[in-house]
Structure 1
Amino acid sequence: MRSFLTALQFLTRIHLRTQTDLTMEDFGRSTKWFPLVGLVLGGLYMAAAWCLMRLFGQAELVTAVLVLLPVFFTGGLLLDGLMDTADGVFSARSRERKLEIMKDSRVGSFGVIALVSLMMINWTAMRGIDAVWLLPAVFVMPAIGRMAMVMVIAGFPYARKEGMGKIFSDMADRKTVAAAGAVTAAGVLPWGGIAAAALLTGLVFAWGAGRWLTDRLGGLTGDTYGAIETLTETVVLLVFFVASWLVGGVHAVWL
């Protein structure tokens, strides 16, 4: 329970219990519970989506709220990683300079472009997902994203000699990935074939993104963990969007 609450406190603004005596090892041991935190968030997103759609249907305002909910519940922690990663990776500088740019608290043009682009794609994808599939989409999205994060934490070296993310990298092993994978499978697979396809596609994408970033940075960092998580969530939405589009196309042909 301590490890789960640590993960919940670290990844979200949901603090069920005040924990002031946490050690770095506590954070490292919490990694396996990241997907369970994702399922908690997914339940909140799905409940919000159901209530809003009951009141307003699939209105544009509903979509906007659903896009912004992850920012509200996580405090933008992972989006900050996306912006820092974009600023560093696309700076066309040396590896060392890229890592320095990523540590800078200021946001550059590439970071802003990355954030705006991500929000636009998420909004557009949600608008195109059939209402019946929108609920499972927003439920599995954060769990798959956090499973992807666990996978790349364990699967790629850490780029810096020190840093907050290093403790996660040092303590993540096969048992961590197996435990996180079991939680993810239990939460995602009951939702059917599209959810399973989103899980597989998301993890393949995350591994490719981890390899691409490692080639440029010599490893991953806490910022890149956040970037991979947020981008994987978008991939999940796109899988549901494509599925909705294909089914709609089939119906149009038969009609």
Structure 2
Amino acid sequence: MKNIIPFMTRIPLHGDFEKVRHEIWAFPLLAVITSALPTLVLYFDFPLKNIITVLFLYFTIGLLHLDGLADFADGIMVKGDRERKIKAMKDLNTGIAGIFAVVMVLFIQVYSLNYAPFYALFISELNSKYAMVLALATRKPLGKGLGAYFMEAMNRKQLFIGSLIYIALLLPLVIYNQKVVFSILCLLIGAYVIKLSLDNFGGLNGDCIGAIAEITRAGTLLILAFVWWYL
């Protein structure tokens, strides 16, 4: 896991990039690290805690996935055939669809934290990271970028271990509060984004996987906010 931390976060550690793709199973474990500081802010109820929480989250994980979300949205929203959509996604300029997607994801996260429990950010990060594992398990790369690089090393063993870690981290919270079980359903959001990627682009690249991570996290927070508000 020591190699994946500097690759997936802004934590200044040294790792071997060649070994990163063999640690896909550890993605769910990253949620413990990436959500630690933001969750403390929520727990101690600082002023403007929602905004500070989201800022600390992206301070830890960086903006790579948000950038992928913007590119993904540009590709999804453009009209035309698959080739045109892929071209729009790979365009270096960010369009209005990408800007809108990023703003909405940020807004949903900040607003949802008003109603979700303080540990909801950990759950949402756990879902986000596990959704990335599921995306890589499709083994349907688009192009020869980072997505393909990771998918080449993805196998049943990594998926199985990653799934066990996901369950092990989520189960104590389900026991603590049965409402948490609804967070499992939130993985369907990630599954839907995977389907969108396959339908529109014919595969998944790094931008698609980044979008899956961002949308799954925001969707999880939104659904947990509804669950805590209404149940």
Which category of TM-score, normalised to the shorter sequence, fits these structures?
Answer: over 0.9
1:253: which partner in 2? none
State the one-letter code of the partner of 1:146. Answer: K
Provide the C-alpha distance between the structure 2 equivalents of 1:70 and 1:105, rounded to a whole number of angstroms. Answer: 25
1:238: which partner in 2? 222
Q: How many residues align?
A: 228
Contact kept, 8 Å, 1:39 with 1:140, in 2: the verdict is no
1:251: which partner in 2? none
Alignment of 1:121-200 (within 5 A): 121-129=108-116, 133=117, 135-160=118-143, 162-192=144-174, 193-198=178-183, 200=184
Provide the C-alpha distance between the structure 2 equivalents of 1:45 and 1:122, rounded to a whole number of angstroms. Answer: 12
Contact kept, 8 Å, 1:14 with 1:73, in 2: the verdict is yes
State yes or no: 1:95 paired with 2:82. Answer: yes
1:71: which partner in 2? 58
Provide the C-alpha distance between the structure 2 equivalents of 1:22 and 1:148, rounded to a whole number of angstroms. Answer: 22
Provide the C-alpha distance between the structure 1 equivalents of 2:20 and 2:67, rounded to a whole number of angstroms. Answer: 19
Please report how far the alpha carbon of residue 125 of structure 1 lies from its aligned counterpart in structure 2 after TM superposition: 1.1
1:109: which partner in 2? 96
Provide the C-alpha distance between the structure 1 equivalents of 2:169 and 2:36, rounded to a whole number of angstroms. Answer: 10
| Higher percent of residues as helix | 1
Contact kept, 8 Å, 1:145 with 1:202, in 2: the verdict is no
Contact kept, 8 Å, 1:148 with 1:202, in 2: the verdict is no
SS in 2 for 1:44: helix
Provide the C-alpha distance between the structure 2 equivalents of 1:96 and 1:244, rounded to a whole number of angstroms. Answer: 43
SS in 2 for 1:5: coil
State the one-letter code of the partner of 2:156. Answer: R
- Deviation track 1:185-222 (CA, whole Å, cap 9, x = no partner) reads 11112112222320x21222211221122011101111
TM-score where L is the length of structure 2: 0.92
User: Unaligned stretches of 5+ in structure 1?
Assistant: 248-255
TM-score where L is the length of structure 1: 0.84
How high is the sequence identity, in percent, across the aligned residues? 29
Provide the C-alpha distance between the structure 2 equivalents of 1:47 and 1:166, rounded to a whole number of angstroms. Answer: 36
Provide the C-alpha distance between the structure 2 equivalents of 1:43 and 1:182, rounded to a whole number of angstroms. Answer: 21
State the one-letter code of the partner of 1:137. Answer: A
Structure 1 counterpart of 2:203, from 213, 219, 224: 219
- Deviation track 1:118-149 (CA, whole Å, cap 9, x = no partner) reads 111112211233xxx2x220122111110011
State yes or no: 1:11 paired with 2:8. Answer: yes
